[in-house]
Homo-oligomer: A and B are copies of this chain.
């Protein structure tokens, strides 16, 4: 089985199944097509599948023309999981969110495997790319794959290989970001080398799926903790009358031993605020606490209160209350230059200020209309920025520092700018660093 599958992969006859056609699955699909593999894409969302089959992208940084040209040749999308048997490799790129108790919700993984289970056959490899806690692959996937009598390592092969997509990063692509993978057995590892080595420049084997799972978590824990640290430092420096952004820029001139992270209004996106808590949950099984993760979570959440307080104080200095003030939030995506609003701290700020009675507007060059979100409701469209429109607001709150904003024009016309991104280096009467 192993050699047959290796031959298929090496000769590019293998059909690659990619389950979950989003931020992770689509770039991977494009990369496999580019390398000459036939790709069968699976998703439960009929609308997405229709759009993709019509050659259209629904993600800003993935071009429709790339989807269309893959579609013309080697790519097909489907909602029909019974076609799972057609694929030689099944790569799972489904979401792993937290439930409302901030515990791992791996139901997208388990439901995917349950849907595919009837169609597993000898000679397939399954690779999980979703970020998750150590043990998911061997505790949750393996038993489900083996329950039909097929044996992992002999009939079927099982990998964990974390996605490392960084939307909007111009320096790296799916092909050039080294790919870590671990196999349940030595045979699995060998298949992993062939599968990923066929499309990615550098592959990095580790000794187990658990080591690979923890690798991805560590990457994002590192980030969450370092952002938590500078957010705490921001609050301390502010009280001492020191601009933390100036301090970080100065520290960044040290040519070794220091890497700058910058504070902001809170953590956003689908990774950094979520992934670390997968380890927190699993650690409890071993009677352990993940204290850095919990502290970072607490501070990165509470930093929005700091920004709200700074806004309240700035309005108060102008003899205004938040209640009744017109506040314009600049940037509502979770990071600059993208249209992704998942876990955006801007939305949290908007809600907190609205709750205090503010009349909220927003402007975002990447998001024309405030989208429907499960837990957030704003009936708003992006305000177009010009000297007159900006001057009308009692306060402008810079939440996401898109490159497309005209920062000089904003500063020159706003009554108050609350700068939560350290964008303004100089001191000015109407600029409040928050």
A-side residues, CB < 8 A to B, are 134-135, 164, 166, 169, 171-172, 176-178, 180, 202, 204, 206-208, 210-212, 214-216, 218-219, 221-223, 225-226, 228-229, 232-233, 235-237, 239-243, 246-248, 250-251, 253-259, 279, 282-283, 286, 288, 290-292, 295, 299
Contact B290 A292, beta carbon cutoff 8 Å: no
Contact A247 B178, beta carbon cutoff 8 Å: no
Contact B206 A250, beta carbon cutoff 8 Å: yes
Give CA–CA (A229, B216) in the complex, Å: 15
Looking at the complex, which one of B207, B219, B228 makes contact with A254 (CB distance below 8 Å)? B219
Given contacts A178-B255, A212-B250, 5 further A-B contacts (CB under 8 A): A218-B233, A219-B257, A222-B251, A240-B282, A240-B286
Give CA–CA (A212, B249) in the complex, Å: 11
Contact B214 A247, beta carbon cutoff 8 Å: yes
Contact A292 B291, beta carbon cutoff 8 Å: no
The quantity of this chain's copies bound in the complex is 2
Contact B246 A210, beta carbon cutoff 8 Å: no
Q: How far is the CB of A273 from chain B (nearest CB, A)?
A: 15
Give CA–CA (A256, B170) in the complex, Å: 11
Q: How far is the CB of A250 from chain B (nearest CB, A)?
A: 4
Contact B236 A288, beta carbon cutoff 8 Å: yes
Chain B: which residue is nearest A210 at the CB level?
Answer: B242
Contact A229 B240, beta carbon cutoff 8 Å: no
Q: Can you give 7 A-B contacts (C-beta < 8 A)?
A: A166-B257, A176-B255, A177-B254, A218-B248, A218-B258, A219-B258, A239-B286
Please judge, given known A-B contacts A206-B246, A211-B250, A225-B225, whether A171 and B236 are in contact too, CB under 8 Å.
no
Please judge, given known A-B contacts A207-B243, A239-B286, A279-B236, whether A178 and B253 are in contact too, CB under 8 Å.
yes
Give CA–CA (A11, B218) in the complex, Å: 53
Contact A256 B172, beta carbon cutoff 8 Å: yes
Contact A233 B221, beta carbon cutoff 8 Å: yes
Q: How far is the CB of A256 from chain B (nearest CB, A)?
A: 7
Contact B229 A292, beta carbon cutoff 8 Å: yes
Contact B253 A204, beta carbon cutoff 8 Å: yes
Contact B292 A215, beta carbon cutoff 8 Å: no
Give CA–CA (A229, B296) in the complex, Å: 11
Give CA–CA (A315, B135) in the complex, Å: 30
Q: How far is the CB of A131 from chain B (nearest CB, A)?
A: 13
Looking at the complex, which one of B207, B242, B259 makes contact with A211 (CB distance below 8 Å)? B242
Chain B: which residue is nearest A177 at the CB level?
Answer: B255
Give CA–CA (A247, B207) in the complex, Å: 10
Looking at the complex, which one of B207, B218, B242 makes contact with A134 (CB distance below 8 Å)? B242
Contact A180 B253, beta carbon cutoff 8 Å: yes
- Among A207, A226, A250, the most chain B Cβ lie within 10 Å of the Cβ of A250
Contacts of A210 in B (CB 8 A): 240-242
Give CA–CA (A171, B206) in the complex, Å: 31
Chain B: which residue is nearest A240 at the CB level?
Answer: B134
Contact B225 A229, beta carbon cutoff 8 Å: yes
Contacts of A178 in B (CB 8 A): 253-255
Please judge, given known A-B contacts A222-B259, A295-B291, whether A246 and B207 are in contact too, CB under 8 Å.
yes
Contacts of A164 in B (CB 8 A): 254
Contact B254 A211, beta carbon cutoff 8 Å: no
Contact B283 A236, beta carbon cutoff 8 Å: yes
Give CA–CA (A255, B177) in the complex, Å: 7
Contacts of A180 in B (CB 8 A): 250-251, 253
Q: How far is the CB of A244 from chain B (nearest CB, A)?
A: 8
Chain B: which residue is nearest A182 at the CB level?
Answer: B250
Please judge, given known A-B contacts A242-B211, A247-B214, A251-B215, whether A229 and B222 are in contact too, CB under 8 Å.
yes
Give CA–CA (A255, B253) in the complex, Å: 20
